Structure formats: structure tokens, C-alpha cells
Amino acid sequence: MPLKIGVVALQGDYAAHAEALRSSDTEIVLVRATKELADLNGLVIPGGESTALLKLLTRENMFEAVREFSIAKPVFGTCAGCIILAKKVLPSQQQSLAVLDIVVQRNAYGRQNESRVAMGNCALSGGGLEMVFIRAPCIVRAGSRVEILARYGGFPTLVRQGNILAATFHPELSTDRRIHRFFCAMIRSGEPCLT
């Protein structure tokens, strides 16, 4: 039976995530309202602009519902989605869901014109991993229960804590689908969530 995975579709590159997941025996739901979270097996919070996404989640009355979903079911956040999931955000102390025990610094890899594609070290099978950084955050601290799955420049770039997966880069903009397949495998495994 196909997995039913939602992609928050309020802003950011949600269409690329939907496309990346389509090849993994999934039904994709573009989530724009709280009611669309009900029957999902997992949720992707895409990159974009974290403060804009926070405002939209709040305006659409989705902030608390996405937080509750993140505690109970598998969630994958990329770039701005990683910021939204983080326990603490620097330097602005902006609001977040605070469900992933990491501290992130916004825009740590530079401005838009300093965006880059780099090869990082990855613990997933297949070795090195192409990473697309666009005004990306940097994970400056990870809690003891956070598993580091990939690094670039000595910093974690892909982490997992239970049912939560987060990347500081944009795997949806690469042709390498390992991370999306890994997220689908997380959902299928049925491992315990944060509750």
C-alpha cells in the first residue's frame, strides 16, 4: 500500500519535494490546511524563508497542528524546514516548533549569491552526497539523542532524532534521491515517535 505523505505547500520548493517523493510508491498531498494532516503517514516541511513560513503556518492556524504532528509521526524538514523544527534558532531567537534538539544559525552559509553545490560526507549507503546550499542554516549544536547522518565543513547537515529527519540543504534539488528514500523507509519502519 502506498504511503500518504504530505508536503507543506504554503511557500518554498514544495513541488520539487513532491516530485522527489513520487518515485517512492507514495501518494502526495499538498498541505495547505490543518484538516489535510489527518490521514498522512509523514510530512515534509520544505525550504523557503523560515520567518515567512512561520507567519503562514500561524495565519492558516497550522502551527500547533504541525507541531503535534511532528511529535506523533515522521517529519522531514529541509533548510527553512530544519529551522522550523529546531529547538533554538540563532541569532534572532525566532519562534520554532522546538521538537528537534538542535541549535541552528540562520543563513550561516552566506547570502543568496553565495549559494553553492558541494559534496559532503554521508553515513547513508552510497557514500558522498551532493548538497545544495541556498541561504542555508548551520547546525551549531546537536543534542545527545540526535544522530548525525551527514556533514559538510565539519558541521552536521543531515540529522535524525527518532521520527524527525532534518537537512540544512536542499536534497530535492539534487538528482540523488537517497534522503527521500530514507525518509520513506523511516515511515515504513514504524519506529516509535517522540510521544
In the Cβ-directed half-sphere of 62, how many Cα atoms lie within 13 Å? Answer: 23
* 179 grid coordinates: 534522503
Catalytically active residues are: 79, 170, 172
Are 159 and 102 within 8 A, CB to CB? yes
End-to-end Cα distance, the chain: 25
Find all residues with CB under 8 Å of 42, minimum gap 6, and list them: 3, 5, 6, 73, 74, 75, 76, 183, 184, 186, 187
Using DSSP's 3-state secondary structure scheme, residue 54 falls into: helix
Is residue 174 a known part of a binding site? Answer: no
Q: Is 71 annotated as a binding residue?
A: no
Cell digits of residue 132: 545544495
| 164-167 vs 3-8, strand pairing mode | unpaired
Please indicate if the annotation marks 144 as binding a ligand: no
Task: Annotate 122-186 with DSSP letters as a single string.
Answer: ESSTTS-EEEEESS--EEEEE-TTPEEEEEETTEEEEEEETTEEEESS-GGGSS--HHHHHHHHH
Q: 68 among the known binding-site residues?
A: no
Annotated binding-site residue? 22 = no
- Find out whether 135 is annotated in a ligand binding site: yes
Residue ranges of the annotated binding site are 48-50, 106, 134-135
Residue ranges of the annotated binding site for L-glutamine are 48-50, 106, 134-135
